[in-house]
Amino acid sequence: MNARDEATTTPLHVQSGSEFHRVLHEAAITWNLNPKVSDRSWVAELDIASDIRLADYFCRQEGLEPTGERSTPPVPTVISHSDPTAVVRDLAADRVDLGATGYKTTGAISESLAIEDQSVSHPVATAGSAFVVSPPIIDSGVTSLRAEELRDIYAGKITNWKEVGGPDREIRVIAGPDANPPRWLMDTFFNGVPEAGVDERRGREATRVNRIESRNDAVGEVPVGFAVYDTPVLDISVDGTRFSVNETGYPATVDLACYSWGEPNPQERAFVSYLQSPAGQRYVDRYRDFLPLNWQADS
Same domain, 220 and 151: yes
In a domain, 176, yes or no: yes
In a domain, 123, yes or no: no
Are 130 and 145 in contact by the 8 Å Cβ rule? The answer is no
Same domain, 111 and 48: yes
Same domain, 230 and 280: no
Which ranges constitute the DSSP H helices of 97-219?
Answer: 106-112, 135-139, 147-154, 183-188, 205-214
Domain holding 76: CATH number? 3.40.190
Picking from 138, 173, 180, 144, the residue whose alpha carbon sits closest to that of residue 158 is 173
Q: Residue 180: which domain range?
A: 128-253
Under DSSP, the state recorded for 13 is E
In a domain, 298, yes or no: no
pLDDT tens-digit map of 112-138: 999 999 999 999 999 889 999 999 999
On the question of pLDDT at 205 being above 90, the answer is no
Q: Counting beta carbons within 10 angstroms of the beta carbon of residue 2, is it exposed (0 to 12), middle (13 to 18) or buried (19 or more)? A: exposed
Rg, Å, the chain Cα set: 22
In a domain, 36, yes or no: yes
pLDDT tens-digit map of 235-265: 999 999 999 988 888 999 988 999 999 999 9
In a domain, 56, yes or no: yes
Phi, psi of 179 (to 5 degrees): -85, 20
Q: How many domains does the chain have?
A: 2
Identify which has the larger pLDDT, 177 or 145.
145
pTM of the model: 0.86
pLDDT tens-digit map of 50-107: 789 999 999 999 999 999 999 999 999 999 999 999 999 999 999 999 999 988 889 9
Same domain, 280 and 176: no
Same domain, 236 and 138: yes
Distances (CA, A) of 189 to 102, 130, 147, 231, 232: 16, 11, 8, 21, 20
- Can you name the residues that pair with 144 across neighbouring β-strands? 235
- Please state the rounded mean pLDDT for residues 4-16: 73
In a domain, 79, yes or no: yes
Neighbours of 75 (CB within 10 A): 24
In a domain, 196, yes or no: yes
